[in-house]
Amino acid sequence: MAMKPGTYDVKAKGHGSSYMPMQVKLSEDKIENINVNASGETRGVADEVFNRLPKLIVDNQTLNVDAVSGATISSHGVIDGVAEAITEAGGDAEEWKKRAKPSKAHATKDEEYTTDVVVIGAGGAGLAAAARSIQHGRKVVVLEKFPQIGGNTTRAGGPMNAAEPEWQKKFKALAGEKEDLEKLAATPIEKIDPEYRSDFEGLQKQIKEYVDSGANYLFDSKLLHEIQTYVGGKRTDLNGHEIHGTYALVKELVDNALDSVNWLKELGVKFDDSQVTMPVGALWRRGHKPVEPMGYAYIHVLGDWVKDHGATVLTETRAKHLLVDGDKVVGVVAEKSDGSKVTVHAKSVILTSGGFGANMKMVQKYNTYWKHIDSDMPTTNSPAITGDGIGLGKEVGADLVGMGFIQLMPVSDPKTGELFTGLQTPPENYIMVNKEGKRFVNEFAERDTLAKAAIANGGLFYLIADDKIKATAYNTTQESIDAQVKAGTLFRANTLADLAKQIGMKPEVLEDTIKKYNSYVDAGEDPEFGKSAFNLKCEAAPFYATPRKPAIHHTMGGLRIDTKARVINKDGAVIKGLYAAGEVAGGIHAGNRLGGNSLADIFTFGRIAANTAFAEKIINY
């Protein structure tokens, strides 16, 4: 079917809440050129899509092309956009989708490398370990099974927890924050585990001095970060097994998190010091937010840095087995996407391959915290996060810790699990209502508390916002908001009554809920659910409702490590030559991770792993 020649402007759905403008140039029977404007796309998640797919489609004159691993949504967005252009030109898009697939690449010859350090996984922890190893003058090979680097870090919101009291003093305390500190300080000492008691008593003194001073700035300290991480992670599973963060690991994290921020600055990451922020479930405002959006701010700086400084980065190369010589790990055998083998001999192997949040069978196998996790529950994770590193560690006898504790992200897209559709604002501006239009939880609480409350209310709920709250959203543009409203995935109305009708609620119920909430903001106290920090009221039209539902987000369990990021075996001994950092390792976050602690974890322990490997300089071959 002949097409009308010309250049067609279309839009395609991208990752998160983005919509990508595309120009598709067509002749009567050919796709001549595809130009994707991905400026609004989540950077780092689908970059490889825009490098590969347009060329693949044009070179092979077919829409029957495979999605790029890890970027399925954006891949289909490009394909659907081209299909729309073909249809608009009078062509048969379905016929183009049924054409022959491009032939797959033949296997290339096997490769072999000898290096000082091999890093398995090119997310934030892996790139941090690689960069720090290079700073020590070591040769580095990085293996990444997906076509592009970044892992889950590219999907992170961006704020990184680190107590920096002098900086935080520049900001005023929110209503309710001081009371939250007093409540924490009033915790009976017998409820604090013995190893934390001395530090808790030190924190009590700090809080008392702050409250007695009458000051109204944002208080923070390493001790507060430590105790909140410990309390926020102390949980009991369905079998009555209690877990809390390993004291030495938690202390290592909070004591070194600010050093990680400063180290990232030295490498080129720019932070916005004009604001302090807090991801959902973080419990406190200590987030250092990059100037660039989301986790890509870290990945592109670290990725460029390690490549510019001589690292060998092999993408589409999946680690299959660790090499062992006697009692030492001495390298890795990997497989490229074309089936060829890559062997890397190394003095140190650093596992940074992430958790298993995109492996539903593994999630269901280990879960001991949630009564039930449905097989069709979405995940916020990159499809790369399937537990590979845990399997590699088990091969050489690594011990596991905390595997049963799976974190659900309460504020996820109901269909895709994505975090950055709709309006994502700081939690002090969250107003969470169930399908009846009623609030049901303290929106400032931990993630598992929010997820449990959502599940108890049927799973689906809505984040309500007005025009002023919308302005605090850090994930969207007006163009994206308008597109989502048009698509029916975000709801907008000039009155709360009209908004309620759109989402199937009784107008008087939603109006009463918001009236009460606004009064709580004025009073600085929430008598219904005890929300501990407020900022804005919801009163300025237009009003918005973002549908949300819990999704699998983070797996707290993993390989047991010590404070030097050395992997420990089942006998409690160090496995020589093997180190781990990031979500592949367990023991820090225990039963529940605080928002913003993951980025602090990956960069801190990624650096520590590299430092330890350098200090030990194990000669493995």
| Residues with a known catalytic role | 447
Rg of the chain over Cα atoms, rounded to whole angstroms, equals 25
Query: Strand, coil or helix: what is 248?
Result: helix
Q: DSSP labels for 351-386?
A: E----STT-HHHHHHH--SSS---TT--BSS-TT-S
Q: DSSP labels for 256-298?
A: HHHHHHHHHHHHT--B-TT--B--TT-SSS-EE-BSSSSTHHH
| Measured distance CA(171)–CA(173) in Å, rounded | 7
| Measured distance CA(83)–CA(10) in Å, rounded | 10
- Helices 194-213 & 247-267, crossing angle to 10 degrees? 60
92 and 23 Cβ atoms separated by less than 8 Å: no
Q: Do β-strands 6-13 and 19-26 pair in parallel, antiparallel, or remain unpaired?
A: antiparallel
620 and 346 Cβ atoms separated by less than 8 Å: yes
| Measured distance CA(496)–CA(537) in Å, rounded | 13
Omega before 542 within 30 of 0, i.e. cis = yes
315 and 142 Cβ atoms separated by less than 8 Å: no
Instruction: State the Cα angle at 392 between 362 and 584, rounded to 5°.
Output: 65
Helix segments in 89-193, DSSP class H:
93-97, 124-135, 165-168, 177-185
